[in-house]
Amino acid sequence: MKALISDIHSNLEALQAVLDDIAQYSVEAIYCLGDIVGYGPNPRECLDLIMRCPVVLLGNHDQAVLFDPMNFNPVAERATMWTRAQLDRPVP
């Protein structure tokens, strides 16, 4: 069995809860369908966990952090810029 996850948006607590739930089943692999970052306070930690997945797709928020946010509302654009700044910082 495989599991699909998406729309994490840097919410580490929710991601961990979902991963804990998935661990109760015979899941061979977890595939991430994107939007790992955006809005929440833990982009780096979420990326670290998701990079263990064999398949990770780029969501529009992930793409906006890497490139330029296009057609984002002001709140989403501000979150994108904040996330980019967090990921540009050196790892402590």
The full set of domains in the chain, from first to last, is 2-88 (3.60.21.10)
Residue-level pLDDT at 51: 97
* pLDDT tens profile 15-73: 999 999 999 999 999 999 999 999 999 999 999 999 999 999 999 999 999 998 989 99
> Sign of the CA dihedral 25, 54, 38, 71?
negative
Residue-level pLDDT at 91: 79
pTM > 0.85: yes
Query: 13: how many CB neighbours lie within 10 A of its CB?
Result: 10
Task: Please report, for the chain, how many H helices and E strands are present, in that order.
Answer: 4, 3
Closest alpha carbon to 92 in 30, 23, 45: 45
Residue-level pLDDT at 92: 73
